[in-house]
Structure 1
Amino acid sequence: MRHATWSAIHGNEAAMRLYRSYRHLPEPIRAPARWVVAPIWQTACALVRRRTGDEVLTGPFQGMKLHLSPVSSRHLLGYLLGTQELELHPIIEAVIQSGYRSVINVGVADGYYAIGFARRMPATHVIGFEGLPEHHEPFWRTARTNGVADRITMHGFCDIADLQKALAETNSRSLVLCDIEGGEKVLLDNEKIPELNHADILVETHDGLVAGCSKTLLQRFSETHDITSIYARPRAARDFPAKKLPVIAKWLPRTAVELMNERRTGVQEWLFMTSRQPANKEASS
């Protein structure tokens, strides 16, 4: 479904009641209903999935096999297109070249970053946290498909004690990658977790869900980190991998752009915070 369509439904009480009733229907009924209601959208999504073969087409994780959840495979095709969070691509490449021995990914979801980093950084161990158990089995299937399962450790929900333990067990400076829908305001607290002062942090902030996330993190880490703010921008036709999906680019240009829509509300911001302080064990060496 197009994001504009969903926004219209979400803003209409009667439409939301109808949508909730639809959600209670069994999947064998819902699946054909989606094709009746949105045939162009469903056709475009099917073309992307068929052309990619569950393999990321472009971007820093090009070539990675990715088994998306059913919801992501219908609404977040940017992962397979390689355009998801393309504003971060230069930072992702910098991270890959950095030589981190550990990446701690809080909020693994479908595994795009955890598995992507493991593929591109063969000397790195990835520690993942994902609070939704339904993501774990497909995550491990994807990790095995990409041949990186032996370099990933996976846990459930991450609290302050869990993150502190993960940081304390690393042997050198780590990257903390955090996307937890507003929970970052509580979790990334360098007074409670002083080890964060020695780590680099890439965090997606969610001011629309929890007010003051970005401001709070900027205040906490301004004395210990160099901080870069990155803001999302609307997708354009030039972002679409037209050479690899020429049919969609030529015949469904508006849908091509909509396929890259990341379904965000408000202005999305990320903070890339690089520590000015060496990791404890590096400092003592």
Structure 2
Amino acid sequence: MSDTIGGGDIHVLRTLIETLARTDLGARDKLQTVYQMSLAHRMSAVGGVIVPFLEEVVANGPFTGMSYAPAAAEGCIIPKLVGCYEAELHDDLRIVVASNYETILNIGSAEGYYAVGFARAIPMATVYAWDIDETARRRTVENAERNGVSGRMVIGGKVVPTHFAQFEGQRVFVLCDIEGTEFELLNPEIAPALRKFDMIVELHPGSDRDIDLFINRFEASHDTELRWPTARDPNAYEVLARLPLFDRVLALTERLEATPWAVLKSKFNS
């Protein structure tokens, strides 16, 4: 990897210096900000080396063969192209594909990794991809067109609980990742249709967002299992072998916080 300092490096260095000079931040906040910025910059540099070798096609996992533009609206691109992204869910995702749902609701779809992947893998399904970010929606359109599935996808913005009623009576699977808002949106007391939907929900707990309370609200309608993030083997992927070990680890980094997924199977569908 090149040691040449470019314009992007100078911008990052200037921003780091300005962060350290700020008087409105404590030492801990400064260190955390510097760490996150430095990590993101290095990960971007690693991506610049590896992404061209991946040829814009998902190499492994449940969406193998999907054409995928190397630009992530949110999250990380290398694990998606390598095919190890959220590998903890791969067995669950294969079950979803084999179940031939009529309707897939992807809430917080980013640039369409899951939405387009499901549209390719389940030819009879209509896939709804919702994201509040305009750039994410535009990239979802681009990835759908690359894979020839635009005709079976509906792309939109914000979702509210009343949206779910229109899908009542259909075989529905929901994949949701909306950074904490899932605790407000997914409530069967407000949206009774959810009781019959199978779901995978990434949970983002906080001071007012309790995992057990979320699971308990679906206790009567769903069997629920939690999946927790696990470490990736940096030596398991041949395409990364050209990188030093530290950069291989960075290349496979998906998140800084260990947020779990709730896998909810409706008792009404068994």
Equivalent-residue separation in structure 2 for 1:188 and 1:173 (angstroms)? 17
Coordinate RMSD, CA, aligned: 2.9
Structure-2-length-normalised TM-score: 0.81
Give 3-state SS (helix, strand or coil) of 1:235's partner: coil
Give 3-state SS (helix, strand or coil) of 1:158's partner: coil
Give 3-state SS (helix, strand or coil) of 2:241's partner: helix
Aligned to 2:142: 141
Aligned to 2:248: 256
Aligned to 2:267: 276
Unaligned runs of 5+ in 2: 1-15, 21-26
Give 3-state SS (helix, strand or coil) of 1:255's partner: helix
| Change beyond 3 A, Cα 1:273–1:151 | same
Shift, 1:112, TM fit: 0.6
Unaligned runs of 5+ in 1: 1-5, 21-33, 280-285
| Change beyond 3 A, Cα 1:14–1:82 | closer
Aligned to 2:228: 231
Given the alignment of the two structures, is residue 51 of structure 1 paired with residue 53 of structure 2, yes or no? Answer: yes
Equivalent-residue separation in structure 1 for 2:219 and 2:74 (angstroms)? 35
Given the alignment of the two structures, is residue 178 of structure 1 paired with residue 165 of structure 2, yes or no? Answer: no
Equivalences for residues 62-101 of structure 1 within 5 A:
62-69=64-71, 75-101=76-102
| Change beyond 3 A, Cα 1:42–1:232 | closer
Give 3-state SS (helix, strand or coil) of 1:277's partner: helix
Aligned to 1:220: 217
Whether the 8 Å contact between 1:76 and 1:260 is mirrored in structure 2 is: no
| Change beyond 3 A, Cα 1:213–1:162 | farther
Equivalent-residue separation in structure 1 for 2:153 and 2:187 (angstroms)? 25
Give 3-state SS (helix, strand or coil) of 2:129's partner: strand
Instruction: Show CA shifts across 1:76-99 (max 9, x none).
Output: 421111111000000000100011
Match of 2:30 among 8, 13, 19: 13
Identity fraction in percent: 26
Aligned to 1:199: 197
Equivalent-residue separation in structure 2 for 1:70 and 1:278 (angstroms)? 34
Shift, 1:42, TM fit: 5.2
Equivalent-residue separation in structure 2 for 1:231 and 1:129 (angstroms)? 24
Instruction: Show CA shifts across 1:191-233 (max 9, x none).
Output: 111111111011000014x643422221111111111111111
After TM superposition, what 4+ stretches of structure 1 lie above 4 angstroms from structure 2? Answer: 9-12, 14-17, 70-73
Give 3-state SS (helix, strand or coil) of 1:237's partner: coil
Shift, 1:249, TM fit: 1.8
